[in-house]
Chain A
Amino acid sequence: MPKNPEIKKVLVIGSGPIVIGQAAEFDYAGTQACRSLKEEGLEVVLLNSNPATIMTDKDIADKVYIEPLTVEVVEQLIRKEQPDSVLPTLGGQAGLNLAMELDERGFFEKTGVKLIGTTSETIKKAEDRLEFKSTMEKIKEPVAPSLVVESLEEGIAFANQIGYPVVLRPAYTLGGSGGGIAHQQEALEEILSNGLRLSRVGQVLVERCIAGWKEIEYEVMRDQAGNVITICNMENIDPVGVHTGDSIVVAPSQTLGDKEYQMLRTSALRIISELSITGGCNVQFALHPESFEYCVIEVNPRVSRSSALASKATGYPIAKVAAKIAIGYTLDEIKNAITEQTMASFEPMLDYCVVKMPRLPFDKFISAKRTLTTQMKATGEVMSISDSFEGGLMKAIRSLEQHVDSLLSYDFTHLSKEKLLEQLAVVDDRRIWVIAEALRRGITYEEIHAVTKIDIWFIDKLARLVEMEQTLREQELTFEILKEAKRLEFPDRVIAYLTQKTEEEIRFLRHEQGIVAAYKMVDTCAAEFAAKTPYYYSVYGSENEVEVKKDRKKVLVLGSGPIRIGQGIEFDFCSVHCTWAFAKEGYETIIVNNNPETVSTDFDIADKLYFEPLTPEDVESIVRLEKPDGAVVQFGGQTAIKLTEALIKMGVPILGTSAENVDAAEDRELFDKILEECGIPRPKGDTVYTIEEAKAVAHRLGYPVLVRPSYVLGGQGMQIAIHDKDVEEFIGIINRIAQDHPILVDKYLQGKELEVDAVCDGEEILIPGIMEHIERAGIHSGDSISVYPAQSISDHVKATIEEYTRRLARSLHVIGLINIQFIAVGEEVYVIEVNPRSSRTVPYISKVTGIPIVPLATKVILGQKIRALGYKPGLQKEAAYVAIKMPVFSFEKIRDADISLGPEMKSTGECLGIAKDFQEALYKAFLGAGIRLPKYKNMIITVRDEDKEEAVEIAKRFEALGYNIFATKGTARALMEADVQVRMARKLEQESPNILDLILGHQIDLVIDTPSQGVEHSRDGFVIRRNAIETGVNVVTAIDTAKALVMALENVGDRELTLVDIAKVEDARAGVMHTITNKRII
């Protein structure tokens, strides 16, 4: 069946801001799909509220709307753009939910617009618990006994009937929000009541607990002709009970025989056929470890995190093929882009082993529980490929960038055997390290399996790694041992540590003996057909198959690794654009990265893709083979920056700003000198190493002071100290994490925070625009609401910023991008941070100004001048729009994480609000972030003393909007004195009904709770904020945010929004248009 000629204009819905459970994988899928639709000559209209994505580039779609993902917006957009079809299966759960809501409102029927890629019946059958169950029963596919309940009583009764433990899964939530396992009634009550609140439809599934069974997933595809294929199956090392997003996952399955494999494959294909899915689908199974009994856990009738992983694991571009199927093609009409000679209607065969590990945010949320449950907590993931499981695991571990490089990285040697066995029963992110320690102590596979339920095949693999540690420790390092250790992917550093040699010695020994990495190709077909893909992974002890070319100049682009708080999808945006720009300049491009969710690891972005850990050793192996003419590190976040020194040692020229100048920006003394030379003031401060020194500096400056480690991301470990005891505590925490670098103590200035990203060609600068933060200094820039153009600063301040940027860029000899953060106190401007590299705000500022700064920076790196590129240097004219970047958090996913904002970044993603006027832009930004007010018009205010004055003004404005205000004693008194109608809420420790009951009664729209500065030792605020978040109540923890929110609500209310096609935000200043090349085509 060829392309459906009736489909001419398609609306693609993206997944919105990055939150836990819905991350970069949808940008990857969406970008691939949009390109796939465009190459079919279709007009693509894109809707996604996330400005950091590649899919929202004007090169990817014809019309781009970075607008809130609400039903109203979609309806309005469809009326405006008149697409004939809507493709909702690429936008994750957010996209599907929107499509369902529109369908329920009868919108498609009314307008005649078609849903493609799926039907609403299919979504309902797969997503609605009851319909899913009855569908499975109809085709005799087993599901665990379960019941959808809408009340606590129903749930308790059913649990009593089927027996504990039971699993709870709320309907229509992301990443299993609000789900969990209850072992007794008390826990059931807690989880169930929470889940009922979080579910869009107030439904929670209560089911028989199949925890401990093997968790197996199949990625399957189907076309309209009914052809069905399996792309990949995957086995979770962690048995059922841990969300697959938080599990270590291996592809293909390792412990299933052909009988089990085919049984589940056949089941998955029967399911996708029964659901009449046209496109991709993920089916999760629980398989009894001691029989052929299985249950279908879940079906996702769309592309998903697992499908992104499956695509990268096999080389099969699921989203691209799904998009082609959506417009009418059948699988046997679509070419396999990898072999270019076979068709998409086949099943990939792997001749390697893939290991995925989750990147968990416990380094950011120190107070959070590390326990892994059915509620996903990971912000990102890494994938590795090897010809052995051990090798894959070792590579994945060091790809995490969490100070881990082997099974020795977490130390459990201090635990007694009893304690160790207890620790084994704890399901958290360190479990494989605990198992390794258990194996070192001689605890048997059977004992470990009995506690963890992890298959002994995996335990044996961990044992092999532990045995190799032992061998390296005890035996002489022979050629054979070294060769085997490398085959198991022991890094040189670990071998050196175990053999008491230096890393340099090991490296030398290896090269002398010819033990070097070889690269193999991911070709979808286990070498059965000649493949053209430039997609490689490393192995030791095998033949190299990479053909190294020398016909063009060659650049190495280092990616940014797993998505984590502080280093998100924006750096992938930068890496991809930089790669495209180099390709346009005639370079051969090579990407190194290990994140399966991203666009940069799609095999057709660069000329070559190395799917590898981003450590100096792994990169060196690639460098030795490819001998690149240079490397770019300024686009890959800290991950790439950290490799600079190593690359220089390898003799690879760093393109763009030199390493010394990057260092100069980080080295306190050097940087102070530069600022002095430039005549730029900065908050006073000093560099210290000890607590005593820090206190001395703090006393000299006067509290409050900012304390932070140098060389970190996203303000990790940064705190505002107001007492000596804060300093003691913070420095203690900083030193707990291995730190080779000094600690900075600065005077904390309260003023307006401003930010610029600029391109510098060595002489001249180009600033697309100045961004102003709504929150005062003290809240991490990534967590602040950012406004472009700056609204409240004078021309003098603007000119000062432009001038300081010029001076700094010049004296740091910046070639490429620089990001500078300023504080303006009155007309006085201070510099607080300089990063001579790309930043989080680059995609946002590029899109809202229409200035493609990554390609510009790339050209500048290659020696071109800003003027010659058609731009007038300096601060550019302000756009006719106001564009606001709003941070988005995932606090409800992380139990016990403190949600109050401060210098340490906590947001996982962002969304955009763009409009002609500030208020509407602000309203859209809040809407995009999921704040949909009003509902009940009840709110709680509880603020610290310093904020009381401003709180009064805000309260008055909310009162005028018709809100009922509750407040705690101190706040209430202040409000009453100012004649605000306020009801006193009892404190936490007082009898019911107290403030907590109010929140849990969920009639509250909003909590404004500003915690006091410094270390807050009271648990009250924490408990209030946690409960509010877990109840689904909006919580604002900064007074400036509250002010912005009330302003947005006052000015917009019910008026219809104006939708802005961002592809039309002209790059008027230069008229420079750039288009990407769709290089390889499926």
Chain B
Amino acid sequence: MKAFLILEDGHVFVGKSIGSTREMVSEIVFNTSMTGYLEVLTDPSYSGQAVVMTYPLIGNYGICYEDMESVKPWADGFIVRELSRIPSNFRSEDTIQNFLLENDIPGICGIDTRALTKLLRKRGTMNGMITTKEDFQIEEVQKRLKAYVTGDEVSKVTCQETYVLRGKGYKVALLDLGAKHNIAHSLHKRGCEVTVYPSFTSAKEILAAGPDGIMLSNGPGDPKAYTSIIKEIHTLYQSDIPIFAICLGHQLMALATGADTYRLKYGHRGGNHPVKDLESGRVYITAQNHGYAVNSEKLSPSVAVPTFINVNDGTNEGLCYTGKSIMTVQFHPEASPGPQDCAYLFDKFLTMMEEKRHA
């Protein structure tokens, strides 16, 4: 069946419908990872967004359920050049076509994804609609697209109840703002007992459990929209418990301590972003998925100092909080998908908890 991708600026791409045939309106973002489409689809940070994969051949290794980064796919829509007719991998349990259908995710294939990516790069992230209705009125759709705003995505994607991954090591409280499974898994693998809290949990409750460390996860949306969470994080900041924050967690901690965030023109989404460790000078290749960044210029050194910057565009990629045992990064050390080069940060977090225990 024919499908159309209509952009806010009036561009229309004609392709074939994949997955659900229902109409979808969302923010259109592109991801440059060449592998890891299932991890991308199930990353809660994509809630409220439809993803374009810049790599043209998708679905080659089918669906390996154990690679899902959350219980379901969150992306609003999926935009690709070509879907493989058959999956080929010893772990594959399903096809991407079925997966999209079963999860009611609309998508479009057979379009020039490179041309689309270039548009998004030049004009910045835009809203768009995927529809199978041929009789759309472009002006009317554009009006709808311009008016579209994403809502409180975190409350959609966070877990509804607290749960625990048992372990014998450090007790880590993980505030689920839309956490990818591999964050909890990376800690659990290192022996930690991970208690995962819904995003609406109060700081008081978390602190009352007496964790050795607190982990703030990644998540979707505009960080400034989450005022109540920011307030709770401010309370966590005031405790002396070691904190490690990733992506949205990093942004919220910055906002909680007086810094500012801003929207990037088209974000960083992919598995090849170089970040420089300002202390050692080492460059690491990281997985990234964010549309907002912390404005480090307005940062007071008495609160936090930058630890990582993006080698490509100089944007802030990490902070270390002065006088605190708090480390936050914009990129994704948990990878999945993407390079595992920064997994050492989880070890560092363990060291922070170790030091705290012996302090």
Contact = CB atoms under 8 A, between A and B. Distances in A.
Q: Identify which of B35, B84, B273, B337 gathers the most chain A CB atoms within 10 Å of its CB.
A: B35
Contacts of B115: 542-543, 545
Contacts of A262: 35, 335, 337-340
B274 A528 contact: no
Interface string A510-549: 0000000000100001111110000000000111010000
B87 to A, nearest CB: 8
B202 interface: no
A388 B112 CA distance: 12
Contact of B283 (A230, A332, A351): A332
A342 B88 contact: no
Interface string B59-82: 011001001000000000000011
A346 B90 contact: no
Contacts of B281: 225, 330
A256 B61 CA distance: 7
Give the dominant DSSP class at A's interface. Answer: loop
Contacts of A229: 274, 283, 285
A346 B285 contact: yes
A259 interface: yes
Given A225-B281, A254-B60, A348-B272, A457 B86 contact: yes
Contacts of B82: 387-388
B121 A254 contact: no
Q: Identify which of A258, A269, A341, A541 gathers the most chain B CB atoms within 10 Å of its CB.
A: A258
Contact of B274 (A290, A332, A527): A332
Nearest to A463: B85
Contact of A227 (B117, B282, B336): B282
A270 to B, nearest CB: 11
A346 B55 CA distance: 17
A255 B60 contact: yes
B35 A526 contact: no
B117 A351 contact: yes
Q: How many of chain A's residues touch chain B, expressed as a range?
A: 35 or more
A264 to B, nearest CB: 11
Given A346-B285, A527-B117, A456 B54 contact: no
A252 B282 contact: no
Given A345-B311, A543-B115, A257 B89 contact: yes
A918 interface: no
B113 A351 contact: yes
A347 interface: yes
A352 B311 contact: no
A395 interface: no
Contacts of B39: 258
A526 B55 contact: yes
Given A258-B338, A342-B312, A291 B90 contact: yes
A542 B114 contact: yes
A266 interface: yes
A46 B61 CA distance: 47
B220 interface: no
A460 interface: yes
Contacts of A543: 112, 114-115
Contacts of B149: none
Interface in B249-292: 270-274, 276, 281-283, 285
Contacts of A457: 60, 84, 86, 88
B135 to A, nearest CB: 21
Nearest to B268: A528
B285 A347 contact: yes
Contact of B90 (A230, A289, A529, A530): A289
A795 to B, nearest CB: 65
B162 interface: no
B56 interface: yes
Nearest to B40: A258
A258 B274 contact: no
A310 interface: no
A227 B283 contact: yes
Nearest to A290: B90
A464 B82 CA distance: 13
Interface in B13-67: 30, 32-36, 39, 54-57, 60-61, 64, 67
A259 B67 contact: yes
Given A227-B282, A262-B338, A352 B89 contact: no
A353 B35 contact: no
B356 interface: no
Contacts of A352: 56
A226 interface: yes
Given A261-B35, A529-B312, A353 B56 contact: yes
Contacts of A28: none
B91 interface: yes
A526 B54 contact: yes
A543 to B, nearest CB: 4
Contacts of A329: none
A352 to B, nearest CB: 7
B339 A265 contact: yes
Interface string B162-198: 0000000000000000000000000000000000000
B282 A343 contact: no
A331 interface: yes
A455 interface: yes
A341 B341 CA distance: 24
Contacts of A256: 35, 61
Given A256-B35, A257-B91, A528-B121, A349 B57 contact: no
Contacts of B114: 351, 387, 520, 526-527, 542-543, 545
B143 interface: no
Contacts of A545: 114-115, 118
Contact of B35 (A258, A351, A455): A258
B196 to A, nearest CB: 23
Nearest to A229: B285
Contacts of B113: 351
Interface in B330-353: 335-341
Interface in A485-532: 520, 525-530
A41 B205 CA distance: 64
A230 B81 CA distance: 25
A332 B273 CA distance: 12
B159 to A, nearest CB: 24
A456 B312 CA distance: 39
Nearest to B39: A258
A389 interface: yes
Given A346-B312, A526-B117, A258 B283 contact: no
A350 interface: yes
Given A261-B36, A345-B285, 12 more contacts: A225-B282, A252-B55, A257-B35, A332-B283, A343-B311, A389-B57, A460-B88, A527-B54, A528-B32, A528-B54, A528-B117, A542-B114
28 contacts: A227-B283, A229-B274, A256-B61, A258-B35, A258-B67, A258-B336, A259-B67, A266-B340, A289-B90, A291-B90, A332-B283, A342-B311, A345-B285, A346-B272, A347-B272, A349-B33, A349-B272, A351-B114, A353-B57, A387-B56, A388-B56, A457-B88, A520-B114, A526-B55, A528-B121, A530-B121, A543-B114, A545-B118
Interface of A: 225-230, 252-259, 261-262, 265-266, 269, 289-291, 330-332, 341-343, 345-353, 387-389, 445, 455-457, 460, 464, 520, 525-530, 541-543, 545
Pick the 7 closest A-B CB pairs, nearest first.
A258-B36, A457-B88, A258-B337, A526-B54, A347-B272, A258-B35, A349-B32
